[in-house]
Each structure stands twice: as structure tokens, then as C-alpha cells.
Copies of this chain bind each other. A is one copy, B any other.
């Protein structure tokens, strides 16, 4: 059985189960995914704001269809490859939420010429001038959001820098379209508990709503006011003035999100299926065929209260063993051991037995795989195989 060559992507052998599929492979518990999607959708519904899901975590048409409110979008992407792939599947409303490089505008123009409302993001006058120039050349007004820096973690204009905001807005007006403002509370990934998250959410809201007001009071348009991160989306109490929320990892969740309290460990919908290939009994190690190539090098829990190593080990049903982690990883070897300081005992696993490993960071782990093997709840049957894509 070679799932990788199946076409169409949803085909799966009737006999495919977690016991026989090749390892390592990426498993998606669709029950958990559905529950996670419903949770955020209900939450944002009660706050009266719409969801523009970020598809950078999923990178799969099948998953995207289940996240979005409609086949046309709205959605958020992190690469033009995502925009192109999703556009080919019918998406018509996307924000490319990484600062635009002028050389990438040709691909933006091409997608927009096909009827895709693809919006770019920028935070410099130079970029705004490039977008305005590309708009004039192409005979179309390319819409852009000005990125606002709400917490100093990465990109964006500081919302109190009125001069720069207005200069960018005016530069866009010369041919392009100022669609609005966008921010991302990257600092929320640091955690700190519900009250800290509510503060992050309020800073995120205040920064971008303030920027929007400034632009409007200068006579510039600002219809879109976009915020987004999975933690703030789950903790915001008030989103007055915000028109949309972007979030991505909420669909699958991961150990980093569990570590900061946004979800429980048993909400995590992704795992890597692995086979035991050795023991070093004197050292208390079990060796599996899931190394960093399948788990990713992400060590996002290393600075959290509970360091999960390269992942938390579960049985084949997805039930986690107490304090059993992937303590170290080489390219195609994972070293499973008891978490340092714990009195837990290694499970009695034999050569050929299978485990499932919950990831630190869903975006990074999923990126190491070409497909999701879809299961539901306690069933071992793989009911579908959904292709992923990578690249730029």
C-alpha cells in the first residue's frame, strides 16, 4: 500500500489502518479538528466578528474547506504558493499576510486578474510606492493592508507613528487601494495565563483600531481592521472596531498551545505515528523511527513550564502516556524516555509496536509531511488521505 501515490487525494485503501500504514506518518483526528473549529467559530460568533482563518498551518484543500465559512473564503495565507493553490480550488478572498516584496507583485497581479481578491500587507513607504506603481502598470488597484506593530515582536508600524502611517496611506492612494490595517499579537505565544492573554488581546485591538481611526480622520479609507493570533482569538473579551480575526493553529492545536492554556492536551488533533525500532534498556530509552525529519526541529515548549522535548508520546489510540516524551531526536531516530524528574515508568513497548507523538508546534510538524492520514476518535481506520503542499 502506497498512500503517497493515491489520486485523487481523498482515496484511501479500504484496509488502511494505523496498524499497517507506513511510518512515520502524520495522523489527523478529524473529530478533534471539528471540535476545535466549532469552538472558535462559536466564540467569534458571540463576539460578533468574522473569522478569516489562516491556512498556513493546514496547507491542504481538504482541511481548508472544513475551516472556512464558505468555499470562496475569506482566508489568510503566508505564501503566494498557498494563494495560488487555494485559488485553483476556488478561493476568491485572501490576505497574503507577510510583508510584500516588490518582485512578488507580478504573481499578485496575475491572481487578481483571474478574479481573486488577493490583498497584500506592508509597513513601509517603499512597499506602498511599489504597490502603487504595480497597480498603475497593471491597470488595477491592488489592495493593501498596513501592518501595525502592537507588541514589538516583529513587523509593522508603531501605531503612535502617525506620520509614517499617513505617508504609507497617501503613497498607496497614488494608484493602489488602502484596504485597512492588520496586526498580529505574536507576544501572546509567550502565555502568562488568561489575564495576560486578555491584555494581549486588548493591546492588539487597541493598536489597530487606533490606527484605523487615525487614517479615517485624515480622510483615508480603512474598511478592514484585522487582528489575529490563536491565543488572543480565544481570550479576547471585546473586539469593538475589529472587522475580522485571523487564526491558524486553533484548527489542530499543539503542545505549545496546551502549555499556555489555550487548549487541553486531548484537544490536539495532529500526531505523528511512529514504530518502535530499538531499545537501550540500561538508559531507559525506546528508539522509534520518528526523528526530527517527521517531528520537526521545533522545540517550542523548551521555555515553557513543562518541556515536552520533541513531543509527547501516546498509545496508538492517541491517549498520552504519563510523562513519556521524545527526549531527543536525530534525523530519522527519536529517543523516547521518561520526562526528567518524573516517577513515571517507560511503557512496555516491543519492536514493531506503534505510538503516536503529539507535536510541539503543529505548523512546523505538519510541514514535514506530504499528507494527513485522517482518523476519528478511537478508530484505527484511516478514512481519508488528504494531500498537503509546501514551497513558495
Contacts and interface: CB of A to CB of B under 8 A. Distances in A.
A361 to B, nearest CB: 8
A278 B124 contact: yes
Q: How many copies does the complex hold?
A: 2
Interface in A75-124: 78-79, 98-104, 123-124
A333 B154 contact: yes
Interface in A16-65: 20, 22-25, 56
A296 interface: yes
Contact of A332 (B98, B277, B351): B98
A331 interface: yes
B275 A330 contact: no
A124 B78 contact: no
A292 interface: yes
Contacts of A258: none
A152 to B, nearest CB: 8
> Interface size class for chain A?
35 or more
B351 A154 contact: no
A297 B276 CA distance: 25
Could you tell me the dominant secondary structure of chain A's interface residues?
Answer: loop
B20 A275 contact: no
Greatest chain B CB density within 10 A among A149, A275, A350 is at A275
A380 interface: no
29 contacts: A20-B103, A22-B104, A23-B101, A23-B103, A78-B293, A98-B277, A98-B333, A99-B278, A99-B333, A100-B277, A101-B352, A102-B351, A124-B278, A149-B280, A154-B280, A154-B287, A154-B333, A154-B335, A155-B277, A292-B364, A293-B367, A294-B392, A296-B297, A297-B297, A297-B364, A299-B299, A331-B363, A331-B364, A368-B390
Interface of A: 4, 20, 22-25, 56, 78-79, 98-104, 123-124, 126-127, 130, 149, 152, 154-155, 186, 275-280, 283, 287, 289, 292-294, 296-299, 330-333, 335, 350-352, 361, 363-364, 367-370, 390-392
Q: Which 9 pairs from chain A and chain B are nearest by CB?
A: A297-B297, A99-B277, A101-B275, A126-B351, A297-B298, A78-B332, A99-B278, A98-B332, A102-B352
